[in-house]
């Protein structure tokens, strides 16, 4: 059985390039989609609550 060469791109399409020339990976977003239980608005948030800013203000939170 033949050994894979260090430049083999099996499984990694950029494996033959040196690290400084490889495309940068995109950072995973911390945002999630939520529906406000107060008004039903669909929005993106990184907060733990599902309430939109408007409903959260009305509730005093």
Is 90 exceeded by the pLDDT of residue 60? no
pLDDT for position 38: 92
In what helix (H) or strand (E) does residue 57 lie, and over which residues does it extend?
helix 53-59
pLDDT single digits (tens) 18-59: 888 888 877 778 899 999 999 999 999 999 999 999 998 888
Token duo for residue 6? 């260090």
Which conformational region is residue 4 in: left (phi greater than 0), alpha (psi within -120 to 50 degrees), or beta? beta
What is the spatial distance between Cα 52 and Cα 11, in angstroms, rounded to a whole number? 42
**Are 35 and 55 in contact, with CB atoms under 8 Å apart?**
no
Torsion sign across C-alpha atoms 37, 43, 46, 47: negative
């Amino acid at each position: 059985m033949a050994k894979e060469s260090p430049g083999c791109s099996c499984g990694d399409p950029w494996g033959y390039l040196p690290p400084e020339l490889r495309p940068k990976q995109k950072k995973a977003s911390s945002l999630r989609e939520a529906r406000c239980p107060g008004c039903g608005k669909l929005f993106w948030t990184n907060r733990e609550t599902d309430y939109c800013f408007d409903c959260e203000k009305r509730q005093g939170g």
